[in-house]
Amino acid sequence: MVHRPPLHGQRTHVEFIDIKEQYRRYKSEIDERIQRVLTHGHFIMGPEVGELEQALAKYVRVKHCITVSSGTASLEIALRALGVGPGDEVITVPFTWISSAEVVGLVGARPVFVDIEPATYNINVDRIEAAITPRTKALLPISLFGQMPDYSRINEIAARHNLPVIEDAAQSFGATQNGSWSCGVTAIGSAAHSAPTSRPIAYSASTATAPPAALSSVSASW
């Protein structure tokens, strides 16, 4: 909440983020769906979970979507699904939320940081190959401020070294690049949202998806 100086003796309050506006805009739909859950009583793993997974998979043009508890969990499960563990390395960036590097340590691996580009704040693709070693098991690029890193080049590098790519799309869900939707451009995509977005689908959580040729064990949360 931002407090402005009194105007003509009155105090004015300006909300930093008006999260109530989104609810007002979709009030009837939200209230109806909440009432439906209260009616059927399936508060955990109810039919809405599967419905959401199908909707999200369709939205980003992939075959599978699995919801879990958080964006951090989705990244950890992705690493474990790929068999990343002690002694391995995962290439990522230092300029991001802590979870991206934290999950690498949680599975016993070591994060290897590649610096960002000054213009986009995304991973500097020109520096990725120099960071690859025999211990590298995955690439974990991260979108920032709605922008996706250059996944065409990242996927080419990954293919040359036979490495999977995990797309951390927490800040780019709904974005596209070269005709492909964020969360659907790599082996595994993870998108976490902790606040309402400008997208027509209004949620607060995270999701991960995988294209048809990807591993059958993938992760996500919404």
Residues 133-180 have pLDDT tens digits of 999 999 999 999 999 999 999 999 999 999 999 999 988 888 889 888
* Residue 131, token pair as written in the block: 């960071």
Distances (CA, A) of 129 to 110, 124, 125: 17, 10, 8
Indicate the fold that domain 52-210 takes in CATH: Aspartate Aminotransferase; domain 2 (3.40.640)
Decide if pLDDT at 189 tops 90: no
Better-predicted residue by pLDDT, 22 or 206: 22
Tell me the whole-structure pTM to 2 decimals.
Answer: 0.75
* Residue 167, token pair as written in the block: 């797309």
Considering only 23-27, 175-179, 209-213, which range has the smallest mean pLDDT? Answer: 209-213
Considering only 67-71, 134-138, 171-175, 203-207, which range has the smallest mean pLDDT? Answer: 203-207
